[in-house]
Structure 1
Amino acid sequence: MASKVVHLTEAGLQKIKSELEHLRSVERPAISAAIAEARDKGDLSENAEYDAAKEAQGMLEMRIAKLEEMVANARVLDESRIDTSSVQILNRVTLKNMKTGKTVEYTLVSESEANLKEGKLAIGTPIAQALLGHKKGDKVDVQVPSGMIPFEILDIAVADM
């Protein structure tokens, strides 16, 4: 399986590294202790605590492996070299919904940094994909589950991360 490059800001990479460190140094020993405690209670064939602790350990190890892969494949984006002549990752894009007249603003980020409450839209979403490469003033039709939404790109700026 070929590993996929993960584009991150410096802050995004640090956030992943600190979560990984927490999982390794705090969560992993806690689960090991829970497994040992459950094992000490006797018959493992009927021990729900042991089964739950082993399952939690499996989930934790999967998360650690995923984060390790992300860190290994991370490419930190040089925020000083971001172009605003057309829409790309780490741009803050101001859009006008042509149907409703409402204006929205999104910052296009990697999948791992997406947070819609903060206006951070994952680069893989239909809206972000439709906007990529377009310029200020372009009208872009975005296919979403509820139908087609026509947007006009009002502004493209460097995201303040």
Structure 2
Amino acid sequence: MFMAKEYKLSPQRLKELQDELTYLKTTREKEVAELIKEARSFGDLSENSEYDEAKNEQGKLYARIGELEDILSNYVVIEEDETEGDYVRLGSIVTLFDKEFQEELTYKIVGSQEADPMNGSISEDSPLGRALLGKNAGDEVVVDAPAGPVEYKLMKIER
């Protein structure tokens, strides 16, 4: 049996996605319908680039709506609980020491829908995220990267 992917979202990200879906289904859908109507009025659809563009935009809109509906029909809200033990989990901010490059790195562990590695948010589904989950400060962490294993020491965990 096929199990749908379960998306882990922070309460903040859940609201962002719900707001985006509402905007797309109301405001944006009307705008795109208007573009198509306007483009149709230009006549011959076979040579009408405005019409093609508007239909393309509509396709992208419906694809994004579908994607959002999929996420919002299958999510779990991650509550950031202060009382649990001091180990890495969703919502943790970790400070790592990269042994090879002798530098400290700080990341926030987030659900895959919120990952933004360039801005310090890594997915719990990423190789590093998976390696860190459940670990405690002081633990050694080895991540199998394409270029070979990368070793980190988990310096501290914050919420």
Q: TM-score, normalised by structure 1?
A: 0.89
Structure 2: segments with no counterpart, 5+ residues = none
CA contact under 8 A between 1:137 and 1:152: conserved in structure 2?
yes
Segment of structure 1 superposing worse, 80-89 or 1-10: 80-89
Q: Which residue of 1 aligns with 2:38?
A: 37
Distance 1:117 1:34, change over 3 A: same
After superposition, the CA RMSD in angstroms is 1.7
Partner of 2:27: 26
Alpha-carbon contact 1:94-1:104 (below 8 Å) kept: yes
Letter in 1 for 2:60: M
Equivalent residue, structure 2, for 1:128? 129
How many corresponding residue pairs? 158
Quote the Cα distance in structure 2 between the aligned partners of 1:63 and 1:81: 34
Indicate the SS of the match to 2:113. Answer: helix
1:112 counterpart SS class: coil
Contact 2:78–2:90 (8 Å) recurs in 1: no
Distance 2:145 2:83 in 1: 27
Higher helix content, 1 or 2: 1
Write the distance in 2 (CA, Å) between the matches of 1:80 and 1:21. Answer: 29
1:139 aligns with 2:135: no
Tell me how far apart the structure 2 counterparts of residues 140 and 82 of structure 1 sit (CA, whole Å). Answer: 24
- Match of 2:81, SS state, is helix
Aligned-residue identity in percent: 33
What are the Cα deviations for residues 6-61 of structure 1, in whole angstroms up to 9, with x where unaligned?
Answer: 11111010111111122122211111111111111111122121111111101110
The equivalent residue for 2:89 is: 88
The one-letter code of the counterpart of 1:91 is S
Alpha-carbon distance in structure 1 between the residues aligned to 2:126 and 2:83 = 20
Task: Report the residue type matching 1:22 in the other structure.
Answer: Y
Of 115-124 and 58-67, more deviation after overlay is shown by 115-124
Cα deviations by residue, 1:91-132 (Å, 9 ceiling, x for unpaired): 111100111221111110011112234321111111111212
- Segments of 4+ in structure 1 off by > 3 A? 81-85
Output the CA distance in 1 between the equivalents of 2:77 and 2:147. Answer: 35
Taking a change above 3 Å as real, the CA distance of residues 60 and 125 of structure 1, as seen in their structure-2 partners, is: same
Q: Distance in 2 between matches of 1:117 and 1:150?
A: 20
